Structure 1
Amino acid sequence: MNLPVGYLIGLGSNIAPAQNIPAMLAGLLDIHPRLMVSRIVRTAPKGIDSPHDFLNAVVFLPVDMPADELKQRTNAIEAKLGRDRSRPDKKLIDRTADIDLLLRTEPGQRDERLDQIESYLLPRAKEMFDYIAGRPTPAVTPGTQIETVMLDGCTLGQTPATIDRDDRAGLIRVIEQR
């Protein structure tokens, strides 16, 4: 598979996720006006004691910038949404926004690097690799709970999608879903 340069990014929220996932996507669209987003799934908390499920997705952001620069920008999105990264227990508590750089993609890269990704995000990451490559996306595993969110009047989450921010019209559009 010949992947473009960019990053696979994991998104998660278990505090008002129906509002915070779209807000994270909007923040990423400020970094690059086009991105691809996986299905959005509900997952039980991993590594934290919480009654609140997460909504999770994987995004492909086609940017060629150093990882540390992108991480600073994604941390700013998290902070804007109320995440306090200075807390020593930040990995063990509920969160409004969690944006993780999972993998930098390069031309000629193959799927085997995906095994570095957390198990709860791995199906969505594989889904993004297939979507980027134009291959059919696999059916969801039985028991997977697919969710939808609204972003600027567009429904996202049921299928992988490409979204675009059109600055001239001031709109966010879904330009492809499959």
Structure 2
Amino acid sequence: MNAQYPRVAGYVIGIGSNIDPEANVPRILDALLRHFGHLSMSRILRTQPVDMASAREFFNLAVFVETQIAPAALKNICNGIECALGRDRGDPSRALKDRVADLDILFALDPGEPLPALAQVDGVYFQPVVADIYGLLGLPVTAGGVAGVTIRLGEVSAGEVPATIHRDGRTGQIVVVEQRP
């Protein structure tokens, strides 16, 4: 897998929510669309909490945003989205608590640089959704497995299968182009 090279520069971001994820994942995606205009999105998977005492299931997914901004600027955007949705970034035990929004930069993609192997992706719950992103980028990876969770993004649905999502600059409407496996 690491012999493949991406054609575009950008970042793969891991997203999770286990506090009202049906409402908060669409809010996270909407905020990212406001910043970047379009993104590629994996399926949304239900996962059990890892390394935390909680009975709440997570919705986990990954997105690819095509951008050349610096990692620190992207981290500021991600942290801003988390805070706007109510996450307390100043709480030293926040990683052990339920969360409304969790956005982590998993890795950057640069043309000519090898891709991380899926086994190297931090968090076993992110490996199948990163495989979805690789597939959307035209790389020969198949994630397989279960269908994702469907969410509403304005007037459209997404999440069951990998998709590319755009915000129409004229109307502000969200457009989803699903990529069937």
TM-score range relative to shorter protein:
over 0.9
Give the corresponding residue for 1:129. 134
* Letter of the 2:48 counterpart: A
Q: Relative to 1, partners in 2 of residues 1:135 and 1:153: Cα closer, same or farther, differing over 3 Å? A: farther
Gaps of 5+ in 1: none
Q: 1:84 Cα shift?
A: 0.4
CA deviation vs aligned residue, 1:46-95 (integer Å, no higher than 9, x gap): 11100100000000011111101110011111101000000011000000
In angstroms, what is the RMSD of aligned CA positions? 1.6
Q: How does 1:142-161 map to 2 (within 5 A)?
A: 144=146, 146-161=148-163
What SS does the corresponding residue of 1:65 show, helix, strand or coil? coil
For 1:133, what is the secondary structure of its paired residue?
coil
Q: Distance in 2 between matches of 1:145 and 1:15?
A: 21
Match of 2:35 among 14, 18, 31: 31
1:131·1:137 contact (CA, 8 Å) conserved in 2?
no
Choose the corresponding residue for 1:169, options 160, 171, 174: 171
Deviation at 1:137, TM superposition (A): 3.9
Correspondence for 2:66: 62
Aligned pairs, how many?
Answer: 175
Identity among equivalent pairs (%):
38
Alpha-carbon offset, residue 22 of structure 1: 0.6
| Partner in structure 2 of residue 120 of structure 1 | 125
1:139 matched to which residue of 2? 144
The residue that corresponds to 2:13 in the other structure is: 9
| Cα distance in 2 for residues equivalent to 1:112 and 1:5 | 14
Q: Per-residue deviation at 1:117?
A: 2.2
